[in-house]
Amino acid sequence: MAWNQPGNKGENPNPWGGGGNKGGNPPGLDDLLKKLNGLFGGGNAGGSSGGMKETDLLKWAVGGVVALWLVFGFYTVKQAEEAVIFRFGKIYDTQTAGLHWAPPLVDRVQKVDIQSVEKASLNATMITEDTNIVDISLEVQYRISDAKKYLMQVSSPETSLIQASESSLRHVVGSSKLINILNEGRATIARDVQPRLQKYLDNYSTGITVTGVNVLEALPPKEVKAAFDDVNKAKEDKERLKNQAETYANGIVPEARGQAARLLAEAEGYKQEVVDRATGDASRFDQLITEYRKAPAVTRSRLYYETMESVLAKTSKVVVEGNNNQMLYLPLDKMIPQTTPPATLAPATTPSNEPAPAVRSRSGNSQENRS
């Protein structure tokens, strides 16, 4: 029979034990706590003071849970970070550096570093404009500029960055020749890749800003690397020889110019010397002609003697005796100084086994007449 059948006048059995409720009211909270305390071995369940202690304990427990809930809601955002607040899975707010509070189990806080510069590397084999193959390594430097987009718009921002970098690099390499890429074209490739990559990332709303792009390495395939090394070596030799030629030219040209200037100066000096000598000779001739007109015979004799003196003073002499066939050498240049005009010549002392040199005196008039 049911415990609360009508007609029992309040004497139905109580499912929690004990007698029936004479007043017909449901059991109170204190009664329930007493029963629970008795079930778990709580001691005296009948006293009113015991019930008050258990109620206070429950209140303290609830207060402690609430306090812990409040404490765990505090969080700190660093200077280089930005906090994104999710409430029930949706973005609710963002917070900058400082101490903040968010209700636990209701809000979720995710911090994002928006100032540090990160790096992503890419290695790929691509085809150039002239249908050659090149192995190229790329490094992308980036930072997070929009934390909301970075967390919500794409599932994997780093993967999207790598894919966009490869697409941008492939477009630029496909528009360049291999010889340019291997030599001076690396800086050009990096400069062209960066704006195109940033455009792709903005179209995807990744919240990433590219701060720099570097081409680390660009090499031909291993099968043809030796040939390209020879080409590069030839170019290096060309540059080296060119530099040597420029250095030689820079040294020899000023030297040649100095030598030319010196020769010009010497030529000018020689020219002036010849002109001065000719002018002097002409002036002396003018003086001689004036004297000659005054005394032709005397002037002619004086010129003859002066000429013979200057000629014979520097040469060896041979004296031929009248009808005798003997020729005697007279070393006048050794007997008297060359600067002293010939006067009376004394016979030189010779060894006993050699004949003494003979001097034949001739009058000046006879010599003049012969001339």
Domains of the chain (ranges, CATH numbers): 1-71 (no CATH), 74-113 (no CATH), 118-220 (3.30.479.30)
Residue bearing the bigger pLDDT, 251 or 43: 251
Per-residue pLDDT of 5-15, as tens digits, reads 444 544 555 44
Percentage above 70 pLDDT, the chain: 71
Cα 61–Cα 67–Cα 69 angle in degrees, nearest 5: 105
The whole-model pTM stands at: 0.47
136 and 124 in contact (C-beta within 8 Å)? yes
Residue bearing the bigger pLDDT, 209 or 46: 209
Residue bearing the bigger pLDDT, 162 or 178: 162
CA 156, CA 28: separation in Å to the nearest integer?
A: 58
Residue 340 has pLDDT above 70, yes or no: no
Least confident piece of the model among 15-19, 84-88, 191-195: 15-19
pLDDT of residue 33: 57
Residue bearing the bigger pLDDT, 20 or 244: 244
pLDDT of residue 185: 80
CA 212, CA 214: separation in Å to the nearest integer?
A: 7
Tokens of 85: 């607040």
CA 33, CA 50: separation in Å to the nearest integer?
A: 10
Residue bearing the bigger pLDDT, 354 or 109: 109
Per-residue pLDDT of 246-268, as tens digits, reads 998 888 888 899 999 999 999 99
Per-residue pLDDT of 290-316, as tens digits, reads 888 888 888 888 888 888 888 888 777
Per-residue pLDDT of 63-99, as tens digits, reads 888 888 888 888 888 888 888 888 887 888 888 888 8
pLDDT of residue 325: 60
Residue 109 has pLDDT above 50, yes or no: yes
In a 13 Å sphere around the CA of 211, the CA atoms on its Cβ side amount to 12
The total of other beta-carbon atoms located within 10 Å of residue 241's CB is 10
Mean of per-residue pLDDT scores for the chain: 76
Q: Which segments within 272-333 are labelled E, that is strand?
A: 317-320, 327-330
CA 106, CA 88: separation in Å to the nearest integer?
A: 6
Strands 208-219 and 133-144: antiparallel
pLDDT of residue 20: 46
Which residues, including other chains, have CB under 8 Å from residue 214's CB and lie 6 or more apart? 138, 139, 141, 190
